[in-house]
């Protein structure tokens, strides 16, 4: 895999890609590319690593449930990169981790469900973890299409969050939550764990802007 990733890094610039990062000797070698001929910013390419495919499908499903998900993720990533706190290679949270943090926050606010908990079937993938140990990963989740259908049919209840929150409200709330409320070191921002927003949301002011609370 190391040689294959190196060959990709040598070849793809001829097709209009710029190599921004090459990690050939990592546990899962990859090359990060920038597409200089389109609006695509960055893309990670690896070999024999199928878990990210399921992760991407899951993130896409969440983005289909609310039009604010994707722009909020992009805003948070732009901020994190600007502050140089994004990138696992530099000892920071990865881009994927920032995305998961956004989804977790939106679940707490009551705008997103847990598609993993709503999965109708168990689905596992055998692959290597961070420490190169083979183990099963649970990759099942309810698709966005099935979720919307089940909500329309009354089979499941949709989250009852504030629909009028703007992107600015949510960005402010995200910063407030992770700077003042999130229990760093003891809390896991893991969307699969959550379905009902915790009681600590009652009376919270994560979404206050200019002295006005969204729940007021």
- Angle at Cα 163 formed by Cα 160 and Cα 169, nearest 5°? 115
What residues does each domain of the chain span? 1-49, 50-201
Whether the CA torsion 44, 46, 49, 53 is positive or negative: it is positive
pTM for this entry? 0.78
User: How far apart are alpha carbons 170 and 105 in whole angstroms?
Assistant: 9
Bridge partners, residue 127, by sequence: 135
Q: Are 72 and 174 in contact (CB under 8 A)?
A: yes
Cβ atoms within 10 Å of 6's Cβ, excluding its own: 15
| Helix (H/G/I), strand (E/B), else coil: 192 | helix
User: How far apart are alpha carbons 170 and 161 in whole angstroms?
Assistant: 12
How confident is the prediction along the chain (216 residues), in pLDDT tens digits per residue? 678 878 888 888 888 888 887 877 767 777 888 877 765 567 778 877 788 888 899 999 999 999 999 999 999 999 998 999 988 778 888 888 999 999 999 998 889 999 998 998 888 888 876 666 788 888 899 999 999 999 999 999 888 777 888 999 999 999 999 998 888 888 888 776 554 445 455 445 555 544 434 343
């Amino acid at each position: 895999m190391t040689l294959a990733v190196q060959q990709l890094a040598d070849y793809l610039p001829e097709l209009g890609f710029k190599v921004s990062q090459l990690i050939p000797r990592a546990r899962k070698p990859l090359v990060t590319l920038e597409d200089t001929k389109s609006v695509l910013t960055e893309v990670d390419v690896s070999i024999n690593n199928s878990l990210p495919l399921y992760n991407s499908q899951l993130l896409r499903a969440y983005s289909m449930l609310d039009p604010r998900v994707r722009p909020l993720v992009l805003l948070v990533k732009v901020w994190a990169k600007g502050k140089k706190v994004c990138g696992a290679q530099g000892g920071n949270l990865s881009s994927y981790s920032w995305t998961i943090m956004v989804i977790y926050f939106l679940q707490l606010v009551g705008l997103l469900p847990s598609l993993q908990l709503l999965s109708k079937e168990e689905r596992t993938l055998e692959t290597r973890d961070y420490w190169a140990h083979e183990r099963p990963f649970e990759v099942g989740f309810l698709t966005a299409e099935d979720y919307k259908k089940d909500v329309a049919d009354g089979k499941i209840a949709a989250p009852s969050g504030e629909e009028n929150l703007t992107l600015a409200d949510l960005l402010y709330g995200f910063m407030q939550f992770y700077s003042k409320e999130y229990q760093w070191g003891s809390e896991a921002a893991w969307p699969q764990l959550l379905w009902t927003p915790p009681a600590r949301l009652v009376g919270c002011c994560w979404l206050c802007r200019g002295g006005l609370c969204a729940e007021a």
